[in-house]
Structure 1
Amino acid sequence: MTTDLKYPIGKFQAPTSFSIVEIQQWIQDIKAFPAQVKAEVFRLGAAGLEKPYREGGWTGRQVIHHCADSHYNSFMRFKLALTEEIPSIKPYHEDLWAKQVDYDIPIDASMAILEGLHIRWTTLLESLSLEDMQRTFYHPEMKREIRLDHNIALYSWHCRHHLGQLNLIIP
């Protein structure tokens, strides 16, 4: 753990190698995420979701809406990488997305997205061969190709990172 409230589990550290055991654990982290968020929502209650996890940070509601957006984008990047040769993906400004009116609505729609999406996403991830996991997409902001096994590690961290933020909220 870290004392940095923005990154309660620390910043993402990209692995230098990828074992099948680690990849399977990362997929399980992604699979478990919607149920873990649901438990945090229950703990926080409606009033707790309106509190930021740190001063200047997003509210619990915004974190959940962000996860629906981010995870949907990641799922689409997997689909593109599996069906095209090194597709260029479209980055987005998550900070500006969080200011859109749909982040003001209750979390029910984003929870439904997370629950359905994570079933589809982890079904896809569990079907990938080691060769599939080496497929890439091109990230124009980073100016490099990203392998799918790297992206699985990143989104395992992303799930745990945002759960850590929700856990910081005191209802």
Structure 2
Amino acid sequence: MNTPQFPVGGYVLESEPSRARRAEWIDELEKTPEEVRNAVAALSADQLDTKYRNWTVRQIVHHIADSHMQSYARFKWALTEDRPTIKPYDESRWAALADSVVGEVGASLALIDGLHARWVLLLRSLSDGDFQRTFHHPETGLSPRLDEVLGYYAWHARHHTGQIVWLRRNRGLGAVDNPNG
């Protein structure tokens, strides 16, 4: 069986999402820490080192923490500066560093817990106008609105959690209780 690139489906940009849709995405981000934790529950060190395409389960967990940290900072910059230019990072090179390759996932799970608690608090405080704020991405040349970025990161969490759940279900890593996988 081929490993699908997008086990939960590819990202689809929703233009002009409603307030209700944004609330759904915020709820998803609030549940992300528990869903990631459930996805890796009871996996051995060897199982955490099982590859899903290019990255191991361990690297995927660390990537979620790294990527969502970046996004949280980008939200704060966009909310406090006028269309700031963000600093891109090479996620593949980050995933190749020792902390991602051999680091215990518990540290990233704890980071995701705290980060998402803060991020969700911030997101729930935003006005409709705040979600229209943008930042500039120098590599893509795009200036996405925060509501678009929110939708992407809700999908991003489902996407990577879905990869881990897919591995568990299809590569003999054991069952997982994760409704989104």
- The CA deviation at 1:11 is 1.9
Given candidates 138, 145, 149, the residue that maps to 2:143 is 145
- Could you tell me how far apart the structure 2 residues matched to 1:92 and 1:136 are? 18
- Cα distance in 2 for partners of 1:88, 1:40 equals 34
Q: Give the RMSD, CA atoms, in angstroms.
A: 1.3
| In structure 1, distance between residues paired with 2:47 and 2:4 | 17
Q: Aligned equivalents of 1:142 and 1:19: distance in 2?
A: 26
TM-superposed CA distance for 1:73, in Å, is 0.2
Structure 2 unaligned spans of 5+: 174-181
The partner residue of 1:64 within 61, 66, 70 is 61
Q: What amino acid is the match of 1:121?
A: W
Q: Deviations over 1:97-131 (max 9, x none)?
A: 11111112111111111000000000000110000
Q: Tell me the CA shift for residue 144 of structure 1.
A: 1.7
Superposed, 1:1-171 pairs within 5 Å as 5-54=4-53, 57-103=54-100, 104-170=102-168, 171=173
Task: Write the distance in 1 (CA, Å) between the matches of 2:162 and 2:43.
Answer: 13
Pairwise CA distance, 1:4: 6.4
TM-score (norm 1): 0.93
Identity within the alignment, %: 43
Q: Matched residue pairs, number?
A: 167
SS at match of 1:38: helix
Distance 1:22 1:117 in 2: 22
Say if 1:53 and 1:43 are closer, same or farther in 2 by CA, change over 3 A: farther
User: Is residue 81–residue 137 contact of structure 1 (8 Å, CA) maintained in 2?
Assistant: yes
Look up the SS of the partner of 1:143 in the other structure.
coil
